Structure 1
Amino acid sequence: MNSSPTAGAGPSAARPAALRTPRVPVDGPARAQYVEDLLGDPLAAGNPHGQEALLAADERREAPAATEELLARFGLAAEFVPGALGGRLGGAEELAQVLRPVLRRDVALGFGAGMTALFAASAVWTAGDERQRRETARLLLDGGRITILHREFAHANAILRGEYTARPAPGGGYVVGGRKEVVINADRADAFVAYVRTAPGDGPGSHSVFLLQTDRLPAHAVRRLPRARTHGMRSAHYAGLELDRCPVPADALVGRQGEGVGLALRTFQVSRSLVSGGALVAGMDSALRYAVRAVAESRRGFVPHGRRSRVLAGVFADLLACDSLAVAGLRLLDLAPEHALVPSAAVKYAVSALLHEDLDELTAVLGARGYDRGPAYGGFQKLVRDLAVAGLGHAGTADTQAVLVPHLRTLAHATWRGEAGHEAPAGLFTPGGARTTLDFRRLDAGPRDPRNGCDGLLAVLPGAAGRLDGRRSRGARWAALADLARVFAAEVHGLAERCAALSRRPDTGAPAPAAYVLIDRYCLLLAAASCLAVCENAVPGTPDGGLLAEPDWALLALTRFGRRLGLEVPELPDGVTQELAAGLVDRYRRGRSFDLYGMRLA
């Protein structure tokens, strides 16, 4: 792509006329099904939105234009605009459900045509004034694009490297300058939400947020740089943006000057939760489907007692566990966003780590098919590349660790007895439960009572251990799950003691290496708690509720977590792995998703 000397003419010219959005369901799960059916069978020959077309676009390093146009006609951008401003954005869980059909097919498409818009606009929904909120909503609803210009991080990769600075202009407003080489949709955005340095140093007041609308900026000061070649998300439009002494009006400032770091901490809670509950879970679902297909098409077929079926059953249990944690994080954003800072970081950290391990396991199952570039299996290698970019690699891990490490000291002073009022409410663990709404203005980055929020999730473990004792009479598997719950409840006390020992060490200003080990343990315990809570609250008779309400998947997931933690876990009762593998195959044959929702696939 050639660099353009103009600020906004290209994107505006390419913007479609007023979108004629078809009549779509109001209910979120129904809209998710609508999108699934709209995109069609991904393996059908000739489907312009299927794997053949999406992989061809990836090979050409081009966005899949036909599918982007289809999603625009559906009005995907309306999913990122709050209902009060004319959009369809309700709760975070509902949004993740609607995005999963797109992300299961193509993570790069989900980011390029969708999620990035919310990552940018969330700062405006959180702290913008009425004009900024209204104009951002209108831009998106009219088919325009908005993207985000991150500030530079210490652990920067190409996407996070480089930054912009602003100084007061003599006649009012600001003058902004700087350059970033890799920004998604930089070459076709109509507006940028920019985290800009407005003060020296690295303190909390160092950056501010600006809404840069290209039609309000002088063309000579905005230079769109050529497309950047990335290893993952090759069909997404990554390009550079240079601002050269660009005058910016005073009313472009979002919130107050110096509020940028705080706004990032608040809005990244939404980004982390959606990346986990949207891209990572959907990607794991697709990766597991490739592996099941490969085993089913092999010479021996699917052998319930075989090694490969044991691997697939284990990854299936991990997927359901990751989704349990992700849904809890998404519903917490909706129900109690004031307490979502630490949980959102823990969800992202745990799901990313488990996904990385599971992809390695699935690669071994796929064998040579994992390197196939055709439409049947080529999507697996694409997923491996794209998911690395979606999680921002090491930078994404460092970002979540920066939130979690300080929290370890508060764990040392928390009470872990699961008293009434301390345990997270059951409403967090009911996938597809009562409709909720995300209020961005309630997002908070300040410290909270450790008995609430993330630690309320952790308190589920001792609570569930007590309740599961009452289910022992149902059979050996419930008894085994009750025993496992006791092991994990004891580990909660052990974690608190280790955090207390850590807190007694002199504060050197840098986290002790032991802190990172404790983060691993902490996040796996949260995943275990979410597993048990979803199993407890599952309702038999709902789509695949029978599977979730039975102990097998939670038994296998907690056993795998326990082994990762080095805990003494009992042997699984006979038949658990085989029956869970059979449940996985049943979903595959019936055309159902592998996540908590068991959605009908096109």
Structure 2
Amino acid sequence: MSAGTAAAGPHALEELLGDPFDPTNPAGYRAAVDADDAGSVADTATRALDRWGAGAEFVPASLGGRFTAVDELARRFRPAFRRDAGLGLGYGLTSLMAALPVWAAGTGAQRDRLAALLAAGRPVPVAFHELGHGNDLSANALSARPTADGWMLDGTKQVINNAERADAVLVLARTRADDGPERAHTLLLVEDLDDLPARGFARLPRYRTTGLAGCRLAGLRFTGCPVPRSATVGTVGHGVPTALAAFQVSRCVTAAASTSLLEAALDAVLRFAGGRELYGRTVADLPHAQSLLAGAYADLHLAQATATTAARALHLHPAGGARIAAAAKYLVPLLVEDALNDLAVVLGARGYLREGEYAIVGKHLRDAAGVSIGHAGGTSCALTVLGQLPGLRPAADPPDPDLFSGRPLPELDLSRLRLTGPRADPLLAVLTDPTGTGSAAGGAAPRTRELLGGLAAAARTIGIRAAALPAARRGVEADHRALALADEYARLVAAASCLGRYAAGRVDGSPGGLPPGWLDAVLRRVVRRRGRHGEPGSATSDSALLAHAAARTTAGLSLDLDPDRVVRHRPHPPRRPHPSRVLTPTAGGTP
């Protein structure tokens, strides 16, 4: 497989996967739902990823692959996640999690072997977690005892994606019982699994899950299993910090990937709402439905602005990338799940069906929770943020302009990533910089200027407020008040991401740009949330957003913040019903 297969952009994969609404398409939505019910993914869709050369996406360009920028990697995988999160995760993103520590700390020989496996389309899972310890990697019990020529592995790893068919696996093993928890583990790239002695290695039965049913999660058991010393990745005892540094990348990619579920569901529900006739009008004409649809569109852009900014910050502001990535991984899945729930309300009873044209919406809603947990759940990410908040302040200078420009970035340098960043925060500076906020407020409505003023004040004081917390409340003993500060920081990052995007000047009302009133809509969604609900927009704002969404679909573009061309044949406009067939409200609710 050539790393440059047809430039292998997202539209090349989109074309290979075909129209998702075509019921005869073996890689479409119907096939995805049927395969999910059977606990698998559609074979044709998997073969499309093979033809696209998906494995090269996880191999750095310097090693012959196509991986350069983190935001571009997430964008290129959009077509797979739009159709089936199990396809996107099962085929590749878990291999990315395993590959990143090897690219960062592995030997040249390890990198070459791993690159060859991935380029051949072979999955390489990551075996970090143990069910008894959750996200606490430092508590893991699987051990690697040194021997004369390597290691002896003992223990079990569970819920490993693709454990059944992997040729190699990256294992986190306890190697130094006498050191502190952060220096007690080592990463081992265990290869040729089928050649390991039968008495020392076993693949355990598959776990079944409520969502992501197509992901094949199983376990691996090592019992006195010999592994050569050449399997060691990086420095002995540095496995946890190496893994945590790599998490910054995978957190951004999985957050961004989850937004593709929302984009696909929003497109499907807009299609439904435009064709479903109710009370003499289409569902799309009903004010409540319009409010929910417009809110979901705003939330999609809000989530994607946040995830994209966090991904680009790894290149341009890598010292603070851990905090920003954790904030994105915390907030974006919440926005996605909330918007998916709102879309299910618009679907009504159809949202519960596991068959039919719109069953994909329910599947995406079930899968979204699994994608959000990934290798680090929301609370784990919030704690990462909370520990870095005391003393945080806006940076003296605004961030690199390319943070929001969309211009191509150089290949990611993993060696520049840090676990703890400086207290001068570039995104908080976006909110307090009078040049940026002034230009944004210049043509904005009074309510938008009020929001910008409140955001600037919060950005200046969040580090002071966090420093006032007792030290014990900044870690695993954090209470709801402390976690609320982590949540606030994540929302400040989201607001700064949207303001930076707006100031970059890509708001022009065209299908490829953004509509007037966009900044006000997204800021109100993130700042003035009540529980899980974003503040609804005005009828005028909702109409503008939905008109823009309609222009996107007419132009053959996705609904994403940065739209891609998509293969979606639109239905014919609905015919107006004959008066005698108009449905009327009943005591039982929506017909």
**TM-score band, normalised by shorter chain:** 0.7 to 0.9
Which one of 506, 528, 534 corresponds to residue 495 of structure 2? 528
Question: Using the alignment, how far apart are the partners of 2:285 and 2:239 within structure 1?
Answer: 53
Matched with 2:60 is 82
Match status 1:495 vs 2:462 = yes
Structure 1 counterpart of 2:418, from 431, 434, 444: 444
Q: 2:315 is matched with which residue: 334, 340, 343?
A: 334
Return closer, same or farther for 1:324/1:543 CA change in 2, 3 Å cut-off: same
Give the distance between the partners of 2:247 and 2:387, measured in 1 at CA. 17
Amino acid at match of 1:594: L
Alignment deviations for residues 458-492 of structure 1 (CA, whole Å, 9 cap, x no partner): 221122x5544346664xx4554333211211222
- Contact 2:430–2:437 under 8 Å retained in 1: no
Give the alignment partner of residue 251 of structure 2, picking from 272, 275, 280: 272
Give the structure 1 partner of residue 205 of structure 2: 226
Are 2:176 and 1:199 aligned? yes
Cα distance per residue 1:393-441 (max 9 Å; x no partner): 7961232123112112132xx3x4x64x2x222211123x224321223
Quote how far apart the aligned CAs of 1:321 are: 1.0
Say whether residues 1:560 and 2:560 are aligned partners.
no
2:391 corresponds in structure 1 to 410
Task: Say whether residues 1:482 and 2:457 are aligned partners.
Answer: no
Describe the superposition over 1:190-238 as per-residue Cα deviations: whole angstroms up to 9, x where unpaired.
1000111113376211211000002563344221122221111111221
Give the counterpart letter for 2:477 in structure 1. Answer: A
How far off its partner does 1:174 sit? 0.7
Percent pairwise identity: 34
Question: What is the CA-CA distance between 1:104 and the residue it aligns to?
Answer: 0.8
Q: Could you tell me how far apart the structure 2 residues matched to 1:397 and 1:439 are?
A: 26
* 1:176, distance to aligned residue in structure 2 (A): 0.2
More displaced 10-residue stretch of structure 1: 401-410 or 387-396: 387-396
User: 1:8 is matched with which residue?
Assistant: none
C-alpha spacing 1:42/1:397, structure 2 compared with 1 (3 Å): same
Whole-angstrom CA distance in 2 between matches of 1:51 and 1:79: 24
Tell me, yes or no, if structure 1 residue 583 matches structure 2 residue 557: no
How many residue pairs get matched?
560
Letter in 1 for 2:565: R
1:358 aligns with 2:331: no
**Corresponding residue SS for 2:45:** helix
Aligned residue in 2 for 1:292: 270
Structure 1 match to 2:477: 510
The Cα offsets for residues 221-257 of structure 1, whole Å up to 9 and x where unpaired, read as 2211222211111112212211111001111010011
| Alignment partner of 2:234 out of 255, 265, 286 | 255
Partners of 1:499 and 1:160 in 2: how far apart?
26
SS of aligned partner of 2:6: coil
Equivalent residue number for residue 10 of structure 1: none
SS at match of 2:415: helix
Paired residue type of 1:562: V
1: CA distance, partners of 2:27 / 2:156: 35
SS in 2 for 1:24: helix
CA shift, 1:507, in A, is: 8.1
Residue of 350, 358, 366 corresponding to 1:369: 350
Structure 2 residue ranges without an equivalent (≥5): 568-591
Q: 1:277-307 CA distances to partner (integer Å, 9 max, x unpaired)? A: 12x1111112222322221122122545611
| Cα 1:406/1:393, change in 2 over 3 Å | same
Q: Would you say 1:25 and 2:11 are equivalent positions?
A: no
Structure 1 CA distance for aligned equivalents of residues 139 and 276 of structure 2: 45
Contact 2:107 2:233 in 1 (8 A): yes
For 1:53 and 1:506, how far apart are their aligned partners in 2? 48
8 Å CA contact retained: 1:144, 1:190 = yes
Q: Distance in 1 between matches of 2:347 and 2:561?
A: 24
CA distance in 2, matches of 1:570, 1:219: 59
Which stretch shows the higher mean deviation, 580-589 or 174-183?
580-589
Distance in 1 between the 2:500 and 2:564 partners? 21
In structure 2, the partner of 1:47 is 25
Matches for 1:44-443 after TM superposition, within 5 Å: 44-152=22-130, 156=134, 163-169=141-147, 171-200=148-177, 203-214=181-192, 217-278=196-257, 280-299=258-277, 300-301=281-282, 303=284, 306-392=287-373, 396-411=377-392, 414=393, 416=394, 419=396, 421=397, 423-431=398-406, 433-443=407-417
Residues 155 and 398, structure 1, Cα contact 8 Å, conserved in 2? no
Cα distance, 1:538–1:506 mapped onto 2, change above 3 Å? closer
Distance 1:508 1:49, change over 3 A: closer
Contact 1:153 1:160 survives alignment (8 Å): no
Q: What's the CA shift string for 1:24-78, capped at 9, x where partnerless?
A: 117xxxx111111111100113211111211111111123222212211221001
**Aligned partners of 2:391 and 2:464 also within 8 Å:** no
CA contact (8 A) 2:269 2:346 kept: yes
Deviation at 1:360, TM superposition (A): 2.2
Instruction: Identify if the C-alpha distance between structure 1 residues 544 and 330 changes in structure 2 by more than 3 Å, giving closer, same or farther.
Output: farther
2:390–2:464 contact (8 Å) kept in structure 1: no
**CA distance in 1: counterparts of 2:25 and 2:137, whole angstroms:** 33
Tell me the distance in 2 between the aligned counterparts of 1:114 and 1:424. 32
Compute the TM-score of the two structures, normalised by the length of structure 2: 0.88
Q: Which amino acid aligns with 2:403?
A: L
